Amino acid sequence: MNEVQLFTRERSLPAIWHYSMMRKAAMAVSGIALIVFLFGHWNGNRVLLEGEMEFNAYLEWLQAHPLLHYGIWTIVAAALVVHLVVGSTHWLHNHRARRVPYRKKKQQATTWAARTMIVSGTILLLFLVLHIAQIRGWLVFDSGGVYRNLQAGFEHWAVVAVYLLGQITLAFHLYHGAWSLFQTLGINHPRYNHWRRPIAAVIGVGIAALNIALILLNLDLVRRVTGGAM
């Protein structure tokens, strides 16, 4: 009787990553942490709509609770590093494993997701660098503080376009990631398999749509039309 191999090994990798499911599990857990953070990040950034004083008060509150603030960022940074390193390793392993090209390309979700995830992940990493640069004041549009620098950046349509592209990319990345996450965690049953894609779409499109709404509501033109207080 032929043995069924449940895990694939790659001898060139460190021992703990020899098994593909270990890498997938690390991607799933770090992905969940990042999804939770993204929603929390949006929820905190809603204060942008309340004006500069409220936003600065929010920053001061965060600084007054360093254990919470830096604790969350430590977890997020660790999850991001794991996601980047393990994701890249897993993609390279799969890429090298395909020695012989497919005779006929099958439109399998896992294959398509794997091919697009590395591209969308790279775009998101570049977007994250630009976003952090603006938040930290390395990319300066207005030297009056974080709030004014953000608002001044949104006066440039090139900046708005980059932010919108980042969120559209995020929607695709989260959709594919959430769908893969369900498989990795064993959420796989004929009774509810048909719900996996819609739920993954809600997660991806939902978070991206909330961020896009926040971006658009912070545009000077929109604020003037809607009579915003900012």
Residue 2 placed within a domain: no
Radius of gyration for the chain, computed over Cα atoms and rounded to the nearest angstrom = 21
**Tens digits of residue pLDDT in 53-81:** 999 999 999 999 999 999 999 999 999 99
| Best CA proximity match to 31, nearest among 73, 84, 95, 103 | 84
Say how many residues make up the chain. 230
**8 in a structural domain:** no
Domains held by the chain: number? 1
Note whether residue 120 is domain-resident.
Answer: yes
Q: Note the pLDDT of residue 70.
A: 93
Residue 143 covered by a domain: yes
Q: Which residue carries 């900046």 as its tokens? A: 159
Q: Can you tell me the distance from the alpha carbon of 23 to that of 7, in angstroms, rounded to the nearest whole number?
A: 11
Token digits of residue 108: 């399998």
Q: Is residue 180 part of a domain?
A: yes
**Could you tell me if residue 196 is inside a domain?**
yes
Beta-carbon count within 10 A of 94 CB: 18
We report the CATH number of the domain holding residue 154 as 1.20.1300.10
CB atoms within 10 A of CB 178: 21
Rounded Cα gap, residues 181 and 202, in angstroms = 14
For residue 65, how many C-alpha atoms fall within 13 Å in the half-sphere facing its CB? 10
Nearest-CA neighbor of 40 among 71, 64, 84? 71
pTM for the whole structure: 0.82
Q: What residue type is assigned to position 176 of the chain?
A: H
Is pLDDT of 168 > 50? yes
Confidence of residue 194 (pLDDT cuts 50, 70, 90): confident
The answer as to whether 5 is a domain residue is no
Contacts of 179 (CB under 8 A, 6+ apart): 109, 113, 196, 197, 200
Model pLDDT for residues 95-150, shown as the tens digit of each residue: 676 655 545 444 444 545 556 788 999 999 999 999 999 999 999 999 999 999 99
Is 201 domain-assigned? yes
Q: Which domain covers residue 172, as residue numbers?
A: 15-96+109-226
In sequence order, the 6+-apart residues with CB closer than 8 A to the CB of 9 are 18, 19
Whose structure tokens read 């915003």? 228
CA separation, residue 194 to residues 99, 154, 179, 189, 198 (Å) = 33, 40, 11, 9, 8
